[in-house]
Each structure stands twice: as structure tokens, then as C-alpha cells.
Amino acid sequence: MGIIVQEQAGLFHLQSLGMSYIIQIIDGYPVHIYWGSQMNHREPMSDMLIHTPDTAGLDRLPQEYPQYGSGDFRNPAYQVELVDGTRITELTYTGYRVTKGKPSLTGLPAVYTEDKAEAETLELELTDAYSSLKVTLYYSIFADRNVIVRSAHFCNTGGQKLRLRRALSASVDFPGQRDLEMMYLSGAWAREGNITRKPLHQGETRIDSKRGMSSHQFNPFAALVTPETTEGQGEAFGFSLVYSGGFEADAEVDSFGSIRFSIGINSFDFAWLLSPGESFQTPETVMVYSGEGLGEMSRTYHRLYRTRLCRGKHRDEERPVLVNNWEATYFDFNADKLVSIAEEGAKLGVELFVLDDGWFGKRDSDNSSLGDWFEDRRKLPGGLADVAKRINGLGLKFGLWVEPEMISPDSELYRKHPDWCLHVPGRRRSEARWQLVLDYTRQEVRDYIFDSLSAIFSGVPVSYVKWDMNRCLTEIGSAELPPERQAETAHRYVLGLYELLERITQAFPDILFESCSSGGGRFDPGMLYYMPQTWTSDNTDAAERLKIQFGTSLVYPVSAIGAHVSAVPNHQVGRITPLEFRGNVAMSGNFGYELDLTKFTDEDKETVRRQIVTYKEVRGLVQKGDLYRLKSPFEGNQSAWMFVSEDKKEALVYYFQVTAVPNAPRSYLQLAGLQPEFGYEVLPEYSGSRSIYGGDRLMKLGLPLSYQQKDYESGWFRVRATDMLRD
């Protein structure tokens, strides 16, 4: 395992427990040889040399970090503009280095190791002789995970300025005539996480965000899969960008059937000036290979992101059951109303009360006060400290909503600092939700936010923070940047955000931070580095959440997925669903309630009490177990998934039917992830009595499911390994 080098042949074989990735230097260019299931390295690989016709040029060479202008007419991985206005560079190989472990990235979130033995890193050094531009390609491969993490570092070692116009994180060329399809997550506000899958043909298939954030429309993730790939079989090649700003991911098929996949910061409206001696680091791309279908690809991402991307004390702790007052009160509340909801929550077993929007400035609606981070004493005469003390006295922890990246034109902060927002002189300042975006490229702006939030977190016993971001970036310019650096604003905004998040999370390590961007508008690996969970969608309708949570799990662990029970009729779609159905969907994530608990009937309260007791029993398995998706809501009326413990001795199964089916055929559910030779006791939640089956029977034949003739039916049950086994 690790990195095997054949210097004479120019071969680099990156090998993990079940995967190989092979690079070869040909005529000075790093060439992509192979990526797939593990290939043994018993003999020299000189016979793997790629030979192309002398007349073919670079356009036929499968490259690792291609350029444009020297004979390759496909999409380049980078482009540079020199001081004379020309845009031709030619990076060629000048050396390599292999190190133990995985390096961190300055100013950027990154996957990490806790022991250097977990990974090895290959650095390929490339140089353009004319401009003295030096680029280092990083490849970190994990010993026991089918994961490669790639990034690129640019350094201007010459004597003149140059400008990056394109700097992607990774590019991979798949050989000609490879029949692959592209999968990605698409959608919009309140309907995030839709799985899109389409065949690749000559031309380009592209997803991107020009919004300054990863976006509701497309997630910074894509996978190339074979046509026969399903949850449990077939090959999948995943690409996940650890970045929270605008991105692009592109699959280009050339006239010979070769596929070039590239991913990184969106090149649109991007530039970065490098003076002599300056450098630029791209975000990293996490590449996962699975030869056992989409499910294994997802579980590889889940384990990695849950344990080697998320950080801090809350990474491994079970997450609390919460109630959030937003859909219960919106802006119309006072201290007594908040405490009354918390009192009901305490009786039902809730562990955390979260005060959402409306507690600061003169915030009675969306149209004011963002940036004025001080308590509204009209609503809270005793301030946050008084409310938190009263709620803590009930045995609940206290949480708080903030939106620190925004500023309202109707605010004390804006009247004092109208230039602190992103803006372009002489142009209108586009408002969304009556708000503008603070210029996080500026240190004094970040310092103000840090000081304002620190004053609150230091004086109030805040255990949880929901960090929201409710609009995209427009008029992307900064009053502090010179003209030649204005195209750097969007990326500098993200770097500024990361700097602030690092400061605030390190200063308050006991606070559980949750990311939000009108729901899933910035659900990306970059944010998970600072905040281990994300509010998945503002849409809390349980039927819609089946798709949203199922799709999101394609790459993100359940421990990152916030899921709440809300009132009916649902506030987003008006649908009425049973409380049991809503609970079972929400318990398949970080569980909570977003409604007025004081309005529950006695029957509802008993249902909620049971849900909370159950979730506390199973949340360790939900949040840390291996997820197996059994039935897709994108493919039919039924959905199902299960969580399996690492030792495969325990599993939890949820199943759902959206609409009643007349004279329905009997439905069977085949389980997954169990040990075939184990005996498993199916606990009474399934049929009211205990039954014992072999693991092979549960996975091959499955169990019959019975639904009542009602819409929105659901159920759950547990299985446990037992020494007893009968036919």
C-alpha cells in the first residue's frame, strides 16, 4: 500500500486497500494511466507506457493537469495571462517528493489525518520555463480508504507579475470509448438534493455556481458511473470539492470518446494576480472510487467526512434533540412565549431550545437590523441572558440563530459604514430579502463580527449556534481592493469567511455550530470543516424531505443532515402528513422540532414523547452507522433506508409509502450491509413479536411490508445479531 515509484519509467503508482491510481511522465507531461480497482505491483510497469502517434500531439494524451495553447484543444485545468498579455504556458515535470501523512492547506478547509500512517502524499513539481511559473500537484492517498485528495499550488518564481485566469483543483482523463454517465445533485430553494443522472455524449455536461456560494441549484459534487451502476454494484468515480464559493464541474467528451472531468473554483469572473514570490492554493477535491456501486461510494465519503473533515468536540458526540421556535412564532414572540415552548419541550424530553431570527436590533420582519447584534429589549426585557437562564433552569440547553454575513440597509451598522457591503461604485446595490452582503474580504469587517458575536457568546450560555446566510452575492466588488484585484473578490470573500469561522469556532469550542444558507444553499464540505452539521433545507414537509435527505446522502453523512418535524398544514407546501410519518423521516437525521409544542393535543404529546425516547436510543446508530439506501423516492412510491453498526451486529430500518395503493401487491424489503452468516433477531417494532432470520435471508429474500390503506404510511424496526438461528 502507499505510493510506489519507478523513477526510470517515470511511473507513480498510488495504491490503497482496494484502489490504484497510476501516473506516468511522458515527454515531460504527467499522463493519466489508470484509476480503478486495486492493481497489484508485482512487476515493472514499463509495458504500460503510452505511445501516441507523433502527429497526434497533446490532444490525444490523457493528462493529469492539462494546459491550453500547445495542441490540446480540450478544457484546460489552468490558464495564465503573462505581463505581455499572452496566455501560453507549458508546464513540464521537474521533480517529485513523497511524504507520510497529508498536508493541511493554508487558509482553506481540508481533509486531515490523525496519524501519518493513514496516508501518503505525492507532490509532482511542474514548471513553465518561459515564465518561471511553478505548479505543485498534490495527491494524498489513504491506506485503508479508496480516497485520493487532489489540489494544486501555484507559485510565481519569476521576476514579473502574472495573472491566473483559471486554476482548477483536479482534472482526470478517462480513456476513449468508456461508457460513463454523470450523476449530480440539482434543485432550487426548498427542493435541494435531486439526483440527476444522464449519459455522456460528445460535447460537455457541466454544472456550476456563479452565485458566490455552492448554491441550492447544484452541489459541488459529481460522480461518473457506468450505465449498470446501482446502489450495490458497478463502478463509481466521485468528485467532491471542499469549497464554499462558486465552482464548476465539467465532463467533456472529445471526438475520440475520451472523457475529461475537471472540477474547481468557477473560472467565470475569476482572476488572481501573482506578483513575484506570491503563491495561490486551490481548494482540494476528494476523489472516491467504488467498484461496489453508489452505496459504497457514499459510505466512503460518509466515514471520511464524519471523522476526517469534521473537527472538534462535537464531531464524535451524539447530537441533541432540539426545538426551534421559527415556524412556531416567526418574528412575533416575547420571552414568556419562548419559555412556554421550552417548558413543553422539557416535559417531552427535548434537550435544546433554539431561539431563531428576530431577537436583535429592531427586527420585527426581514427588512431591518442585520448587523446590529445586540438584544431587542422590547421583546426580551431581561436580554438573552435572562431567557437562557430560564430555559437552562428547565434542564434545556440554549441555542441561538445568527446571520453574520449580511447587513440591512435599515440598520445602525449600515448608516455608520455604508461601504462595508459588497458593492461597485456607481452601480445599484441589489437587495434580496432587504439585505446586502458584508464585504468579508476586509479585516475590519470580520473583526467587527467576531467582536460582536464574542460578546454575546461570552455573556450568554449559548450551547448551539445556527449560522445562516440567506442570499447570493451580487455586485461583487470591494472598496478595499485595487482595480487589478477586483476579480479576486469572490474568492477572497470565501477565504475571509473561513478565517472568521476558524477564529470563532476555536474561541468557542464548546458551542455546536450548524451551518445554514436558506437551508441547503451552502451544504458543502468546506462548511463541514468548521460546522459538523447543516440545516438541509427550509422545506420541512416530510414527503419532500424523503427526496432531499436521500439525495443529500449521496455524498454527505447523516451526522451532517439537520431534520425537523414541523406543523401541518406544512408551511412550505401546505401538505398534511401524520405526526408518525414526519417523525420517522426526521429521525433519519439530526432530530428536532420546528413548531409550537404548546399547541399539541395530549395524543400528539404522547407520540412526540415516544419519538424522542426512541431517537435517544438509536441516535448513535443513526449518526455514526453505515447508511444503506434500500428504496429510492426518486424511483417510486416507496422509500427505505437502514443504518448498520460498524460490527454489523445491529441495524435500524425505516420504510415509507407516500400514497395508498388500491389492491396493492405484497411489498418486500431486502436489507443490506448485514453479515450473511449471522443470525438476526428482528425486534417487535416490525411485527409485534420477535423473529430470528439469517442475514443471508434478510438480504436476499427480505421481509414483507404491510401498509394500511392510507397516504403517508411509515414504519421502523431494529435487528440485532444473535447466537440463535433457525430456518
Instruction: Say if residues 677 and 696 touch (Cβ distance below 8 Å).
Output: yes
Which residues, listed in sequence order, are joined to residue 337 by a DSSP beta bridge?
none
Distance CA 50, CA 24 (A): 9
How far apart are the C-alpha atoms of 87 and 503, rounded to whole Å?
38
Cis peptide before 30 (omega within 30 of 0): no
Which is the catalytic residue, given 128, 357, 468, 541?
468
Q: Write the DSSP assignment of 177-228 as a string of letters.
A: T---EEEEEE--TTS--EEEEEE--SEEEEEE--SSS--SSEEEEEEEE-TT
Contact between 172 and 230 (Cβ < 8 Å)? no
Cell readout for 121 is 502524499
Determine whether 216 is exposed, middle or buried from the number of CB atoms within 10 Å of its CB (0-12, 13-18, 19+).
Answer: buried
> What does the pLDDT read at residue 723?
76
Query: Alpha-carbon distance 39 to 19, whole Å?
Result: 7
- pLDDT for 56 equals 61
Nearest residue to 18 via CA among 181, 142, 150: 142
The total of other beta-carbon atoms located within 10 Å of residue 672's CB is: 21
Contacts from 417-425 at CB under 8 Å and sequence distance 24+?
A: 419/479, 420/445, 422/473, 422/474, 422/475, 422/476, 422/477, 422/478, 422/489, 422/493, 423/475, 423/477, 423/479, 424/475, 424/476, 424/477, 425/477, 425/479
Structural element, H or E, at residue 125 = strand 119-128
Neighbour tally for 648: CB within 10 Å: 16
538 is catalytic: yes
Which residue in the list 357, 538, 541, 626 is annotated as catalytic?
538
C-alpha–C-alpha distance, residues 543 and 529, integer Å: 30
pLDDT in tens, 546-562: 999 999 999 999 999 99
Q: pTM score, two decimals? A: 0.97
| Ranges under pLDDT 50 in the chain | 726-727
Q: Which amino acid, residue 65? A: Y
CB-CB contact of 534 with 467 (8 Å): no
Residue 697 neighbours by CB under 8 Å, 6+ apart: none
Name the residue with cell 458551542: 511
Catalytic annotation present for 173: no
Q: What is the 3-state secondary structure (H, E, C) of 628-680?
A: EEEECCCCCCEEEEEEECCCCCEEEEEEEECCCCCCCCCEEECCCCCCCCCEE
Torsion of CA 485, 489, 493, 496, to 10 degrees: 10
Q: What is the pLDDT of residue 9?
A: 92
- For 478, the grid coordinates are 470591494
pLDDT of residue 727: 47
Nearest to 229 by CA among 277, 285, 283, 295: 295
